[in-house]
A and B are shown apart, each in its own frame.
Chain A
Amino acid sequence: MIRYLRVLALFWGSAVAAELEYRINFVIATLTSLGGLCGSIFGLFLFYRTGYQFQGWTWLDALLVLGIFTLLQGFSATILIPNLNKIVTQVQQGTLDFVLLKPISSQFWLSVRELSPWGVPDLAFGLIMIVYTGQRLGLGWQAYCLGFLPMIAGALSLYSLWFMLGATSIWFVKVYNVTEVLRGLLEAGRFPIAAYPVAYRIFFTFVIPVAFLTTVPAQAMLNTGGPGWWLASLLLAVILLGLANRFWRFALSFYTSASS
């Protein structure tokens, strides 16, 4: 365990050092993140400006969902997306061999090797939004405690889904755009799940669990969801994590290096 933490520190130190060569991009990333937030709020405003409300969600509640969404977006930009891109390149060029030879879990190596500081503005703006709407809604510290675990569970579920998508590159090789599919699906989490028609709700709860990424944590914070959803989100994270690990082993048994 200690060894893994030390390796992690080395990974992220070198990754950040490499990314800091492009410092102007950090400014652009901050602007992008700010622009994205304005865009999302504008998109939400288009619904609420005529007095319409997502069923059971006030304007502030919906903003809270948006804050959690922004936070998750930051998480995926910081860790998920850069690493996913790496898996694909490694399968394509055959350099995955070197990873497999290392005396360390290959899933660990592939999941956390890269760290992109470009997601940090999103993380910051997401937190600011959550705290701001929390203040306006008068949420106490209990609300944040209740929301914390589902949020972590949501991030882990997202990671597992993403890792399984990345693992399919063993078969399909050039799947750069799984990032795009992932991003496209995640977009649905911008809005509380109650805003969608029934068919969408079923899809986003049971087929692709977007509901558990943003809506369930928000409901936990607002104390409207009930303990069932709270537990379900933790359970889902555990199941998906186990599944991701099994799937990776399964996929590896099909790996034939590009060079041999």
Chain B
Amino acid sequence: MTTVPAEGSGPSASGELRGNPLTVARVLLSVYYAYMMEYRAELVLWVLSGTFPLIFMGLWAQAAQSGQFSLAPRELIQYFLAVFIVRQFTVVWVIWEFERELVEGKLSPYLLQPLDPVWRHFFSHLAERFARMPFALILVVAFLGLYPKAAWLPSGGNLVLAVLAIALTFCLRFVIQYTFAMVAFWTERANALEQFWFLFYMFLSGMAAPLSLFPEPVRAVVLWTPFPYLIYFPASLLVNRADHVFQGFVAIGAWSLVFLLLNRWLWRRGLTQYSGMGA
């Protein structure tokens, strides 16, 4: 029953791809795109579940009218709309899928294929981004239609940087969650870890308030964690209010590297531990 780990350690050396990596990527992307389109009703719900920033938008717009905060209501509305957009493109759920595959033993057949199972998850997330985009755009346009005063355009350079930052943050968020997912090899319910982490993410990433409204000491500490780079950094690029752009990208890169190394290490350790159903 323990033959799988030996074979399973093969795919991690991803050089064994049978096809051209680009072909594999294209096929996976189109397969998962078709799959996602099948569940459009669900996708709409996913988009709607990202209302958290909109709730805080209302609170802060109302609060800023008192003039007791350093940002104007309009700036805050733009910021939270940007947060909403960033959230839409960086939502990750790989830990639940991975955990289920592991507990139900579905991971075993994937391990036999000459493709690291991570790519399936990665491309299903990526495909979902494309399937989700129209719904998210409709929501943003509808919002600006209802409240045209908030409309703004990111400058060309910032837009490019913001798109790049969103792409990189998605990768960072994916790697972090996939690293937590590895813990499933040992505990079977790794998502408790993700939920714990999510709390910090919710309040420290800038989803609840822009970092510039944090008390100074808290902000100084938070900037050393990965959280602000997951939401605050790309969002502030989108609204043309970013500072320390270079440091931001360095931080994303550094944290990605840390979690990537940890992830590969846990993956190798985990496979030797793996004893899922049918393995």
**Chain B residues, CB < 8 A from A177:** 42, 45-46, 49
The answer to whether A42 and B45 have CB atoms under 8 Å apart is no
The answer to whether A181 and B189 have CB atoms under 8 Å apart is no
Q: For chain B residues 199-233, which have a beta carbon within 8 Å of chain A?
A: 199-200, 202-203, 208-209, 213-215
Q: Quote the shortest CB–CB distance from B55 to chain A (angstroms).
A: 5
Q: Nearest residue in A to B59 (C-beta to C-beta)? A: A195
In-complex Cβ contact of B55 among A42, A49, A188 (8 A): A188
In-complex Cβ contact of B58 among A178, A185, A196 (8 A): A196
Q: Quote the shortest CB–CB distance from A83 to chain B (angstroms).
A: 18
For B179-201 the 0/1 string (1 means CB < 8 A from A) is 00000000111001101100110
B41 at interface (Cβ–Cβ under 8 A)? Answer: yes
Q: Quote the shortest CB–CB distance from B179 to chain A (angstroms).
A: 16
**Chain B residues, CB < 8 A from A46:** 208-209, 213-214
**Chain A residues, CB < 8 A from B48:** 181, 184
Q: How far is the CA of A231 from the CA of B49 in the complex (A)?
A: 31
Interface residues of B (CB under 8 A from A): 39, 41-42, 45-46, 48-52, 55, 58-59, 61-63, 66, 68-69, 187-189, 192-193, 195-196, 199-200, 202-203, 208-209, 213-215
A250 at interface (Cβ–Cβ under 8 A)? Answer: no
Count contacts on A: residues with CB < 8 A to the other chain. 38
In-complex Cβ contact of A22 among B66, B69, B189 (8 A): B189
**Chain B residues, CB < 8 A from A31:** 196
**Chain A residues, CB < 8 A from B59:** 47, 191, 195-196
Q: Nearest residue in B to A55 (C-beta to C-beta)? A: B62
**Chain A residues, CB < 8 A from B200:** 35, 39
The answer to whether A187 and B214 have CB atoms under 8 Å apart is no
A32 at interface (Cβ–Cβ under 8 A)? Answer: yes
In addition to A22-B187, A197-B61, 20 A-B residue pairs with Cβ atoms within 8 Å of each other are A25-B192, A28-B195, A28-B196, A36-B199, A39-B199, A39-B202, A47-B59, A52-B66, A177-B46, A180-B45, A180-B49, A181-B49, A183-B49, A184-B51, A184-B55, A185-B51, A187-B51, A188-B55, A195-B62, A200-B58
The answer to whether B189 and A52 have CB atoms under 8 Å apart is no
Q: How far is the CA of A43 from the CA of B58 in the complex (A)?
A: 14
A174 at interface (Cβ–Cβ under 8 A)? Answer: yes
Interface residues of A (CB under 8 A from B): 22, 24-25, 28-29, 31-32, 35-36, 39-40, 42-43, 46-47, 49-52, 172, 174-178, 180-181, 183-185, 187-188, 191, 195-197, 199-200
Q: A25-B189, A172-B42, A184-B48 are in contact. Are A35 and B199 (CB under 8 A)?
A: yes
DSSP majority for the B interface? helix
**Chain A residues, CB < 8 A from B208:** 39, 43, 46
How many contacting A-B pairs (Cβ < 8 A)?
A: 89
**Chain A residues, CB < 8 A from B55:** 184, 187-188, 200
Which of B42, B45, B46 has most chain A Cβ within 10 Å? Answer: B45
Q: How far is the CA of A36 from the CA of B200 in the complex (A)?
A: 8
The answer to whether A178 and B45 have CB atoms under 8 Å apart is yes
Q: How far is the CA of A188 from the CA of B50 in the complex (A)?
A: 12
In-complex Cβ contact of A184 among B50, B61, B187, B199 (8 A): B50
In-complex Cβ contact of B68 among A29, A32, A52, A196 (8 A): A52
Q: How far is the CA of A188 from the CA of B55 in the complex (A)?
A: 6
**Chain A residues, CB < 8 A from B66:** 52
Q: How far is the CA of A193 from the CA of B275 in the complex (A)?
A: 50
